[in-house]
Amino acid sequence: MVVGGVLWTPWRRCAGGSQNSRGQGSGEAQGGKKLSTEDISLLYLGTIVNKLGGIRGEIARLEQRMEEMNRRIDETNNRIDATNQRIDALADSLSRRIDETNKRIDALSARIDDVQKTLLEIQRLLMELLKTDTGRS
């Protein structure tokens, strides 16, 4: 933060202040003016406001990313729902076809049973015929 043409930071009182022989800052601005408690508070407040602005910007950026991610999740869910509907329709169709095939198998089994009964009756009749023919000779 620049105050009166001098760069102030929260960790040093004055970046452009005078230094004594040991290289330590005197805490005075370039004109020899000492910082008041109010000036220091304003410097800290300015730093906090700047950081808060950065944090708010980051929050806005993250919210935008979250909205984009939520949109993509919604699109994915819609595709999954559509796929599930197609799978359900296919499963219903296959189930109907299996049911129809089972009915046809049952009908064929009944016809085979009828043919088998007829063959057994023919066999029985042939056996009787052979017995009567053998009894005549």
DSSP 22: T
Share of the chain above pLDDT 70, in %: 75
pLDDT digits (tens, 9 = 90+) for 44-75: 888 898 899 889 999 999 999 999 999 999 99
pLDDT of residue 56: 92
Is 70 exceeded by the pLDDT of residue 112?
yes
Is 90 exceeded by the pLDDT of residue 13?
no
Helix (H) / strand (E) containing 13: none
Per the DSSP assignment, residues forming a β-bridge with 9 are 12
DSSP 113: H
pLDDT digits (tens, 9 = 90+) for 70-98: 999 999 999 999 999 999 999 999 999 99
* HSE of 82, CA atoms in CB hemisphere, 13 A: 6
